[in-house]
Structure 1
Amino acid sequence: MNKNRFAAIVFAVIAVIFTSSCSGGDPWVKVRGNKFIDPQGNEIVFRGLCFSDPVKLVRNGQWNERYFAAAADWGANVVRFAVHPANLNSLGWDKTFDAIDQGISWARKYGMYVIMDWHSIGNLKDELYTSTMYNTTKEETFRFWRTVAQRYKDEPAVALYELFNEPTVTAEGVGSCTWNEWKALQEQIIDTVRTYNPHAICLCAGFNWAYDLTPVATEPVARPNVAYVSHPYPMKRSEPWEEQWEQDFGFVADTYPVICTEIGYCLEDETGAHIPVISTDVYGEHITRYLEQKGISFTVWCFDTSWAPMLISDWDFTPTTQGRFFKSYLQSQK
């Protein structure tokens, strides 16, 4: 091949790439610095809702377009699919992923992105968990993410891959794991995902039920296109919250994107009240104001009638106490 022809081919390739990027041809959300960037090149802040579990909702007869339409009506631009290992295995992988496929189609129809969440709680390194519904293995976890990455490698609506819901080593009976061990395991999962889908933004959680991101200051995950997760429920810290939130996770948002994939609260006398979610609208006001000031994305737990803290009290989507607060807030941000 002569030099002129080679140069022409190189120029043509560069032109295609340039034209594609300038015309919005790349449909994927990306990480740029400490921001999420949409396909048009603008900063996007995710504000949305956590769904309880695709299998649970299928069994309740509520995994339907009406459910997704309600989430969009509330003002969500993202919804989180909390895939529990026990439910996935109970219904079966094929049927579960068929349901997820349909859910992604509905989310896309209503202009919402999807967070795929491997919803386990405990210590993946030692394969010890806080409840049998979260039981999984490293082998199964890698299988799950290979399946997701292969199946949705051409689906930009599935923008965020939440590698493990709530890592913790502070609960009784869940073994031990250092941050460097957890960091290395997350990096292995990310490498597996990227083998099939180089576009995926991987979400990495810290310990203490995905609350504590302090190790990121000195030992961040050594992979590009990642964001960090925190679950700052109201009782993780005492009031006043803001200074402690800043020390525990908020500082990370100065350097990397952060998304609080679970926030929420309920009153002390409401159904399902438990540590660490008991609070009032005061928490709602403080957490939303803090997250907005920091540019931190979030999804609220839980758009369900029975998994606390609930956002709805019935399948007509009647809001609970926190539901009224967050519905109003999300709609105000549209």
Structure 2
Amino acid sequence: MSYSSLLRYYKDPTLSKAITQKIAELAKKIDEGIMIMHVCGSHEWTITHYGIRSLLPDNVEVRAGPGCPVCITPATDIDDAVKLALDGIVVTTYGDMSRAKGTKMSLEEAKANGGDIRVIYGIQDAVKMARMEPNKQFTFFAVGMDTTAPATAFELLKGIPNNLSFLISYRYTPAIQGSVMESNVLGIDAFISAGHSVTVTGLKPYYPYFLKSKKPMVATGFEPLDVLMSIYMILKQIEEGYPKIENEYTRSVTWEGNIKAQEVMEKVYDLDEGYVRGVAVFPRAGFRLKEDFKKYDARVQYGLKDRTKTSDEHVAGARCGEVVMGTIDPPECPLYMKKCSPQDPKGAPMVSQEGTCWIWAMHKIANPSPKCRR
């Protein structure tokens, strides 16, 4: 099957209608309310863009969880990047990240104040720039999840210019989702896992969390049919009373994951506590450079304070952390589409194209989900 045919298949309205009917049949058997959480901005875009929530029975709800890399990057890490830029260090990072505010300003604003901020598409661009300009000091503001962390690790193992350092702010998805799985505070019944992350990590790291939580989990792709099928699989587990870890995204995900990528990460990083902006510190959720690579650590090189446990939302009146954790919908934030919009974002979830607020705003959703359960 060609790529274009494959895409058409995963958007097929006849198949979608059939799965939606099966979901309705299962939901009727279950009767009680079911809350499913996904942890991926790409999933939120698919769910919102294709109106998947409107196809679900009243007792089935899908909430957006902490899966947007820009949204969860601590404001204090952005502050560190801003400081380096204003101190004369060339800071390289991704486009969305340059617009997210720290406690005082964004990197984009730092650029307006004289900082040398360069938007790049990947770590390779930063390496190339540093080699071409050996008389300047460069820092790569390394944000994202376990999907982008391997590329940085690979470059470090290959060897990088001495004038390039790394401000590491990567987060480990299994630890974040796993902590939410173990918690009963949010009332989440089941989880849709991010397909691109699980492609790297595999399903195996989730197993200890599953053993404790006994909550259904399905690794899922990003097309409408993927999402609908994963919801059906979750409801079937609940109806049968047999929770398990399942893989809907078999064309990419395996139990073991990408072994080579994992080996590269294990050589370069340790896992430590990691703060999710506006939410909490999660065990084993933050990447740290190992001792052998500390000379490339911008925090060590430039004497930046480690503020892992700092609470740092700093957006007056906003409820960004609650949006990130899925306890409220974006329109329930008093700033949504008033003081905070895609054109003038105040909070990180309105900055990134993977942020729930940005996605809802671009689809002109003005009201909370009527099925919203607290």
Query: TM over 0.5: same fold?
Result: no
Task: Give TM-score, length-normalised by structure 2.
Answer: 0.25
TM-score computed with the length of structure 1 as normaliser: 0.27
**Quick one: higher RCO (CA 8 Å, sep 6+), 1 or 2?**
2
